[in-house]
């Protein structure tokens, strides 16, 4: 590890490829490689994009953007010659500039590492050859190119001032820095500077302080990252997380403010927000499951990191980073908005032009800690995370006069639905049925494609007898010819069953998709059985499968009753048509029903269901021509479980009186 370069070079190679802040050279040659390195050092010193320069590693090869590992390194003679020649070459940079030079071990080989931080004396010039004239150089992507025309104009404008985070502070002293925080940072980034015991030397080598009039003072970035209370100097350097109830005008539920060093603010806010994230797994057909979260943590983290990175910390920007949590979205707001040249369409499309960053040192330290990634990757990462979660696309708003940047992360549609349903359940539990209906209807109007909200709204309207309104909601999901979501279809079928509109219900249930889950097939089968459509019901029970049916006492009982109805139909057909096959079907169905009913009474199905099952069993045994004692025993069990159901008691007594002894 290097004791003069603040980051761990092997670690840098493991996560970076050659790009805007990293140049790789496989070998050293003073005549060819030398001037290539010279112009790149000049470009890093000019720091057109405010990324705080970059690194040149000599002895590391790459091919097609992929670093060759293990590295070849340089021999001792090559190292000695390269260092002497580099010092001589750098004297050709105008005004004078010298990078930090060190030899580091990578894969057991010696690599010459050059760190070229942004210069306070920029812009710099350097020649591209032995006899070439000095020119201004900039870094564009992974290429070093001469600055001409608009690029040169931009460089001159950019270098006219030092970014605020890299300026010296006139209100603080080095003693205000917390050396424990600095050492913690060095440990996290695996820096060899942790072995340096001279505090002032550590500060200087990390670029945290600057010499002014013979003494050293901290830079603003040092106060932001390495003091216990950055708010002493930057009163808005904090993250406010505010959770609201329904809508922007809803009640404030909770407010949490994160202060302290910037890295700690980010980490603590991440943990807090992670605990508020809702995870859901939806089971589908064929034992598949689809998971989602309310807000992808990757997208939310990137949005907050970008806000901390790209906001202004100058005192005329006195607003903290704000994270507003609503039931249907998260808003991350930073002040002011992005720099000139970045527009809403860039952000909403996921790509931004390569323009100078507002805070070069804040970004650099966040990247070292892996809280931020390479330039240009955060925005696509937000878009990708939202898409992979099944969430709507993120939205970006730039306030009037670039006063702020707002990142809007819409909640997953199913999360919005579940939130509305939970609210409605609470209102119903407190006796406000009309308020519950209104909450679901408002949520559905805002998200009319939601199957969960549509199903709930149809159910609630059906319970109030408003069948026509329920039909209107159902029609928005495809009407008579479409393929409504299974939740909506089943909810509407239940409304029709309750309204005794059996023909329409049968037509609706005929549109169940092929991949309908076993649970939903059972629900549909029960509805059909109650509409006396036993043949169709039996087919759906069969599609659902025996394991799913037998695992549920209600489904098992309903299937038994379906078989009993079919057995009775077969009995009447056999009697009417003297059909031996129908007679055999009758007995087979009765035996199958007997087995199902015996299972129901053994399961934890509740006393009332057991009572009905025993009554059905008594009827089954009688039709199987079993001894009267068995039938009476079933009726006795039915009566013992029927104390809370007067109708059931009446039927049991009627059955006793009709029973013919055998």
Give DSSP secondary structure letters for 473-498: HHHTTTTTTS---HHHHHHHHHHHHH
Q: How far is CA 22 from CA 75, 135, 394, 566, in A?
A: 22, 21, 31, 78
Q: What is the pLDDT of residue 377?
A: 74
H or E element: which one contains 427? helix 413-429
Q: Is 334 helix (H, G, I), strand (E, B) or coil?
A: strand
In the DSSP assignment, the letter for residue 337 is: -
- From CA 657, how far away is CA 643, in angstroms rounded? 19
Q: What is the pLDDT of residue 66?
A: 83
Q: What is the pLDDT of residue 96?
A: 92
- Write down the residue that tokens 């009566």 correspond to: 639
- From CA 6, how far away is CA 119, in angstroms rounded? 17
Q: What is the pLDDT of residue 18?
A: 65
Q: What is the pLDDT of residue 287?
A: 32
Q: How far is CA 364 from CA 9, 51, 650, in A?
A: 14, 7, 82
- Token pair listed for 284: 């589908």
- Asked, as a colleague might, if the bond just before 166 is cis with ω within 30 of 0, I would say no
- Write down the residue that tokens 């087979």 correspond to: 588
Give the end-to-end CA distance of the chain in Å, rounded to a whole number.
97
pTM beyond 0.75: the answer is no
- From CA 467, how far away is CA 646, in angstroms rounded? 31
H or E element: which one contains 23? strand 22-25
- From CA 156, how far away is CA 626, in angstroms rounded? 103
- From CA 592, how far away is CA 431, in angstroms rounded? 45
Q: Is 215 helix (H, G, I), strand (E, B) or coil?
A: strand
Q: How far is CA 588 from CA 213, 582, 631, in A?
A: 104, 10, 19
Q: What is the pLDDT of residue 584?
A: 93
Answer whether 329's CB lies under 8 Å from 409's CB: yes
Bridge-based pairing of strands 100-106 and 109-116 is: antiparallel
Alpha helices for 531-579 (secondary structure H): 534-544, 546-550, 553-577
Kindly compute the dihedral angle of the four CA atoms of residues 480, 485, 487, 489, in this order, to the nearest 10 degrees.
10
- From CA 626, how far away is CA 620, in angstroms rounded? 9
> What topology does CATH give the domain 239-411?
Heat Shock Protein 90 (3.30.565)
Pick the CATH number of 9-161 from 3.40.640.10, 3.30.950.30, 3.50.50.60, 3.40.47.40: 3.30.950.30
- From CA 236, how far away is CA 221, in angstroms rounded? 14
Longest alpha-carbon distance in the chain: 123
Q: Is 612 helix (H, G, I), strand (E, B) or coil?
A: helix
In the DSSP assignment, the letter for residue 662 is: -
Q: What is the pLDDT of residues 405-424, one digit of tens each?
A: 999 999 888 888 888 888 89
Q: Which residues of the chain have pLDDT under 50?
A: 247-248, 280-290
- Token pair listed for 510: 């005929």
- From CA 595, how far away is CA 268, in angstroms rounded? 59
- Asked, as a colleague might, if the bond just before 123 is cis with ω within 30 of 0, I would say yes
* Cα Rg, the chain, nearest whole Å: 37
Give domain limits for the chain. Answer: 9-161, 239-411
Q: What is the pLDDT of residue 286?
A: 35
- From CA 238, how far away is CA 227, in angstroms rounded? 13
Answer whether 191's CB lies under 8 Å from 183's CB: no
Q: Is 463 helix (H, G, I), strand (E, B) or coil?
A: helix
- From CA 396, how far away is CA 184, in angstroms rounded? 35
- Nearby residues of 546 by Cβ (< 8 Å), 6 or more positions away: none
Q: What is the pLDDT of residue 283?
A: 42
């Amino acid at each position: 590890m290097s004791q003069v370069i603040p980051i761990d070079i092997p670690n840098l190679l493991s996560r970076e490829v050659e790009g805007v802040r990293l140049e790789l050279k496989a070998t050293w040659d003073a005549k060819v490689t030398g001037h290539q390195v010279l112009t790149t050092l000049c470009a890093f010193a000019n720091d057109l994009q405010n990324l705080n320069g970059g690194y040149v590693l000599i002895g590391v090869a790459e091919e097609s953007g992929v670093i060759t590992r293990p590295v070849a390194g340089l021999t001792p003679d090559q190292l000695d010659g390269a260092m002497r020649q580099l010092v001589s070459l750098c004297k050709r940079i105008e005004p004078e500039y010298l990078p930090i030079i060190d030899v580091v071990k990578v894969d057991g080989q010696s690599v010459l590492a050059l760190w070229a931080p942004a210069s306070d004396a920029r812009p710099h010039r350097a020649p591209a050859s032995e006899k070439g004239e000095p020119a201004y150089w900039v870094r564009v992507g992974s290429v070093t190119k001469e600055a001409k025309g608009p690029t040169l104009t931009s460089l001159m404008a950019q270098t006219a001032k030092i970014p605020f985070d890299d300026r010296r502070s006139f209100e603080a002293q080095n003693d205000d820095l917390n050396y424990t925080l600095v050492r913690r940072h060095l440990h996290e980034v695996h820096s060899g500077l942790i072995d340096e015991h001279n505090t002032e030397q550590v500060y200087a080598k990390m670029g945290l302080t600057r010499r002014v009039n013979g003494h050293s003072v901290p830079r603003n970035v040092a106060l932001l990252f390495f003091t216990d209370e950055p708010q002493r100097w930057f009163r808005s350097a904090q993250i406010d997380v505010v959770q609201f109830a329904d809508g922007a005008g809803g009640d404030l539920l909770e407010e949490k403010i994160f202060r302290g060093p910037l890295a700690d603010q980010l980490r603590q806010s991440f943990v807090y927000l992670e605990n508020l994230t809702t995870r859901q797994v939806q089971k589908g057909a064929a034992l598949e499951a689809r998971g989602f979260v309310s807000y992808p943590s990757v997208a939310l983290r990137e949005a907050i990191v970008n806000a901390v990175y790209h906001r202004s910390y100058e005192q005329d920007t006195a607003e903290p980073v704000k994270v507003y949590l609503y039931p249907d979205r998260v808003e991350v707001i930073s002040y002011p908005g992005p720099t000139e040249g970045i527009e809403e369409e860039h952000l909403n499309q996921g790509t931004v032009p390569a323009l100078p960053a507002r805070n070069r040192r804040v970004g650099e330290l966040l990247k070292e800690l892996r809280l931020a990634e390479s330039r240009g990757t955060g925005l696509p990462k937000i878009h990708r995370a939202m898409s992979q979660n099944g969430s709507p696309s993120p939205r970006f708003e730039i306030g009037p006069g670039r006063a702020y940047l707002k990142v809007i992360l819409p909640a997953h549609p199913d999360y919005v639905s579940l939130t509305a349903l939970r609210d409605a359940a609470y209102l119903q539990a407190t006796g406000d049925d009309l308020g519950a209906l209104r909450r679901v209807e408002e949520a559905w109007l805002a998200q009319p494609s939601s199957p969960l909200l549509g199903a709930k709204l149809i159910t609630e309207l059906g319970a109030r007898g408003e069948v026509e309104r329920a039909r209107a909601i159902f029609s928005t999901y495809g009407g008579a010819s479409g393929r409504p979501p299974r939740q909506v279809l089943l909810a509407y079928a239940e409304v029709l069953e309750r309204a005794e509109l059996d023909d329409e219900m049968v037509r609706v249930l005929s549109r169940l998709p092929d991949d309908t889950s076993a649970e939903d097939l059972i629900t549909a089968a029960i509805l059909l059985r109650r509409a006396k459509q036993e043949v169709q019901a039996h087919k759906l029970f069969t599609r659902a499968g025996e394991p799913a049916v037998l695992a549920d006492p209600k489904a098992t009982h309903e299937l038994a009753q379906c078989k009993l109805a079919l057995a009775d139909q077969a009995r009447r057909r056999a009697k009417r048509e003297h059909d031996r096959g129908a007679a055999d079907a009758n007995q087979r169905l009765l035996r199958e029903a007997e087995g199902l009913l015996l299972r129901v009474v053994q399961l934890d199905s509740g006393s009332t269901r057991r009572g009905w099952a025993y009554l059905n069993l008594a009827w089954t045994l009688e039709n199987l021509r079993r001894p009267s004692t068995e039938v009476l025993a079933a009726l006795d069990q039915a009566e013992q479980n029927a104390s809370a159901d007067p109708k059931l008691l009446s039927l049991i007594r009627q059955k006793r009186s009709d029973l013919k002894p055998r």
